[in-house]
Each structure stands twice: as C-alpha cells, then as structure tokens.
A and B are shown apart, each in its own frame.
Chain A
Amino acid sequence: MASDLEVTTDRAQRLAGGGWQAVAVHWLRKYRRVWVSTLITSSLSPLLYLAGMGIGLGMLVDRGAGGVGGVPYVVFVAPGLLAASTLQVAAGETTFSVLGSIKWTPIYHGMLATPLRVRDVVLGQLVYVLLRVTSAAIVFFVIAAALGTVRSWWGLLAVPVSVLGGMAFASCCFAYSANLRNDQGIMLMFRFVVMPMSLFSGTFFPIEQLPGWLQPVAWVTPLWHAVEACRALVLGTATVGGVLVHCAYLAVWLVGGYLLSVRVLRGRMVV
C-alpha cells in the first residue's frame, strides 16, 4: 500500500498539472497484482451465462416460441449479456475501491496531499475503469462472435456502446459510493439496483413482456439503452438515429455522474 502511494505521489509530482494520468497509473499498478483472478471472473461469468442462458435455456425458448424476434435465443441474449456484464464490471470497480479509498486505506488523502485536484482523482480512476471495462467487453465480444451470435459488421460498434453504457453507470456509482458511510450501502445497491436492472432491462427477454407500469422504469435505466443499441448493432437492424439517441442519453448520465462525483468527493475530502 505504502509503495503504491509513493509511486503515485512520485509520478504526480513529475506530472504536476495534468495529474489524472498519475491516478490512472496508480490503479493500474494495483490491478497488476490481482488481474488473473479478476480477469477470470469478469470474462468467465458472462460466458457461463451465455452458455447456460443462451444455449441451454435457449433450447427451451426456441422450442417453445421459436426464438425471440425472429432470431434464436442465444443470438438475442448475447448482446444483452455484453451490455449487462460490462455494466456489472464497471459497478464492481467503482464501489468497494471508492469507499475503501476514503475509509479503510486513505488513498485519496494521499493523492490529495499532492498537487492533484479532486477532479484528477475522479477522472483518473474512471479512465482506469474504462480500460478494465473495455478489456472485459472485448474478451466477451470475441467469444460471442466466435459462437456465431454476431450477425453484422456493425456489431463491432457494440463494444464501444456497451463500454459507454458501463461508464455511464460507473460515474454515477462513483458518486454514490463516495457518499456512503459503510459498506452496507454497496450491498444494497447491488441487490436493489444492479441485479434487478440486469434482469429487467431487456437483457433476457423483451421489456414488452413486463407489466405496463414497469416498462417506463426500464426506459429510464442506462442498461436498457445500452442493450437496445448493442442488440440493434449486432443484429444489423440499427438505424443511425436510433443508436445516436441511445448514446446521447448514456452520455448525459456519464457527464452528469462525473460532475456529481467530483462534487461529492470534494465535499467528503476537502473539509
């Protein structure tokens, strides 16, 4: 821990002024130590879901309803899983590490004792999350494509779109975590936000099947927009306007979340 801080502060001094890079380097260095186990879980779990839900459950769905929207279930569910798992990785990287850096190991205190500004701390960590999330999305996409679930070259764009969706949520998650007093709130967020969102945002079945009053709730979630855009791109049914609208909505979350995070973290650290 101490050596991390030294490295960070050391780099921060050299980079005085444009310091968010130093923050990103700090998180990457930490990541180096656990990357094996994290990469395994963050790529393997969506793939297991793809096999279990897409292929296994897909057999029942294809037999029962002849696929969804005219495609086999596995093709339907793959882009949904791409977006949902990207969002879960993003959420995982902006909860315990944020609260922990405030409460258990005073990492942000160390960073802010250097010329780094609060916005460098937020931006640097989000850039690190971006790299993490992108690598997870690419691994999943390559394997999903190898299984024949990508029907169009436009599908390649599903990677950046899912990453945008993940980051849109991550920036808000950062603000939320930076505001917490203890880790109970993290658990509650996973159980009452991430989990239901993953189930009911069109990932596993079209939201038209939800009761009428629940559909508008799904429209508000960033995940639904990411899923819709990814699915349209992968199936080759996307329209430029449609994708742009979804992305614009996600960008609003991203920027709003970032601004909020800076505000919240400043309120917490600079007192």
Chain B
Amino acid sequence: MAVLERISRVPAGAGMARMLVERNYRSSRRTWSIIVSGFFEPVFFLFAMGVGIGALVGDVATGDGRLVPYVVFVAPALLAASAMNGAIFDSTTNVFFKLKYARLYDSVLSTPLGPRDIAVGEISWALLRGVVYSGAFLAVAVAAGAVTTWTAVLAVPAASLIGWAFASVGMATTTYMRTWSDFEYVQLAILPMFLFSATFFPLSTYPPVLQWVVQATPLYHGVAMVRDLMLDEVGAGMLVHVGYLVGMGLLGTAWTALRIERLLLR
C-alpha cells in the first residue's frame, strides 16, 4: 500500500518533456552512425535465422496449429526482442552516462523542467528510436518474405509499447547503478529473456512448469503480441499482453520520476 501511495505521488513536471527529446535529437546527429548501426543487429539475426537455422528447422506450428516457415515464426520475435534491446540500451548505458558523468539532469533541473519531464522525455526518446527501428526492420522482413498479412503494420506501435515498458523500467534501474560493471547484471537479466521468451522456439517446447515462468516475463508478452499481429492470429490474449506492458510502462515511468527526484533534488 505504501508503495502504491508513493507511486501515485508522481513528482512535478512542467509538461515540457519534449524539450529533452529535442535535445537528444540534436546530440544524436553527431552519433548517427551508432544509431543507424542499431538497425542492423536484428537484420543480421533475421538473415541467420532465414538462411541458416530456417533450413535446418523447416516449418513450425503456430498458436493456431498452422505450419509456417521458421523465418515467419521468428521474425516477429526478433522485432520484439530488438525493441527491448534498443530500449534497454538507450535507457541504461546512455542515461547512466548523462546522470553520473555528463550531469545533464542537474542543469536540466535548474530550469522549469522537473523530474517527471526528465523521465518522460528520456523514455519517449527511447521509444521514438524504437519506432524507427521497428519500422525499418518490418520493411526488411517484408522484403525477406517473412511477413504474410496486413495486420503486421500494427507491429510498429506494438514494438513501441514494448520499448516503453522496457525503457521505463530500465531507466529506473539505472538510477541504482554505481559503476559501469553493474551493467553486467543488466545483461544477465536481458539475455535469458532474449533466449527464452518463446523467441526462437514455441512455448509448447518448454516443460509445463517452465511454461509458467516464461509466461511471467515481459518479453514473452511482447513477443506473443507482435507474433499474433504478424501472423494474423489476434485474439482475447492480446488484451493481457497489452495490459501487462502498459502496466509495466506506467509503473516504470512513475518509479523513474521518483528516483530522479530522490537522487537529484536533495
């Protein structure tokens, strides 16, 4: 209860989070090569899965029991996973640098902007990048023949929802970090999710006990959501996926704002 009460007391902002997004856009123009390169990671994976693993695996049964080529099965998962990876990267390493070394937020807070503006601004930025990446990835997936239906377009907003959920929790976690080597632990949380959220092989492959564990992880819901959209198998389960991720995003954003206030406004 105390936690809920604290979360509900979201710190002040001036509704000017977009100014921070503008700032990030400006600075990103000097590191555009890094940003562009982020797009290639899922593409390499898609290629490896398509030409390599796909040929070994053959067809895979979807949730509806249809058989689809492996690349069609795995492309949505790669999209979801790259939305997560991109969001985590932006909201952990980048934010840590700004928080501890560049002291960016100290100067931001001496203007009318408040902690909530910082949280919302940084998280929106991560989310925006995610939208661009997932749009580009979707185009590649279409070209590679891994997309079979029009509802796949909805995978882009879906990917941004995933980005929001992970960016917000990622940024909140970052406020607890002390040194760069702490980020090894972030990797340790991300990697199992990347590998075991029904990303590369269907949920039915897991032993029943593990299926529950898998279904509890956020990336599972992201993958399942994008996969339903890209395979045109949208059902009631979609509400659960969206609800889970929206809840995570709201909680993470409020938590981040609180932590920024706690850290910098002392």
- A–B touching in complex (CB under 8 Å): yes
A199 touching B44 in the complex, CB below 8 Å, given contacts A41-B184, A56-B205: yes
Q: What residues of chain B lie closer than 8 Å to A71, measured between beta carbons?
A: none
- What's the dominant secondary structure at chain B's contact region? helix
* A48–B190 CA distance with the chains assembled, in angstroms: 11
| Inter-subunit contact A52/B56 (CB<8 Å) | no
| Inter-subunit contact A199/B48 (CB<8 Å) | yes
| Inter-subunit contact A59/B201 (CB<8 Å) | yes
* B196 interface hit (Cβ, 8 Å): yes
* A37–B179 CA distance with the chains assembled, in angstroms: 11
* A187 interface hit (Cβ, 8 Å): yes
* A239 interface hit (Cβ, 8 Å): no
| Inter-subunit contact A38/B195 (CB<8 Å) | no
A256 to chain B, nearest CB (A): 27
> Which residues 17-41 in B have Cβ within 8 Å of A in the complex?
31, 33-34, 37-38, 40-41
| Inter-subunit contact A204/B52 (CB<8 Å) | yes
* B51 interface hit (Cβ, 8 Å): yes
| Inter-subunit contact A52/B195 (CB<8 Å) | yes
* A161–B53 CA distance with the chains assembled, in angstroms: 26
Q: What residues of chain A lie closer than 8 Å to B188, measured between beta carbons?
A: 40-41, 44-45
Select A205's contact among B56, B191, B201, beta carbons within 8 Å.
B56
* A61 interface hit (Cβ, 8 Å): yes
| Inter-subunit contact A191/B200 (CB<8 Å) | no
B72 to chain A, nearest CB (A): 14
Query: In chain A, what residue has the closest Cβ to B32?
Result: A184
| Inter-subunit contact B48/A184 (CB<8 Å) | no
* A224 interface hit (Cβ, 8 Å): no
A200 touching B48 in the complex, CB below 8 Å, given contacts A41-B184, A59-B205, A191-B40: yes
A192 touching B40 in the complex, CB below 8 Å, given contacts A49-B195, A53-B200, A199-B45: yes
A65 touching B205 in the complex, CB below 8 Å, given contacts A41-B188, A187-B37, A196-B44: no
* A205–B38 CA distance with the chains assembled, in angstroms: 24
| Inter-subunit contact A191/B38 (CB<8 Å) | yes
Q: What residues of chain B lie closer than 8 Å to A56, measured between beta carbons?
A: 195-196, 200-201, 205-206
Q: What residues of chain A lie closer than 8 Å to B52, measured between beta carbons?
A: 199-200, 204-205, 209-210
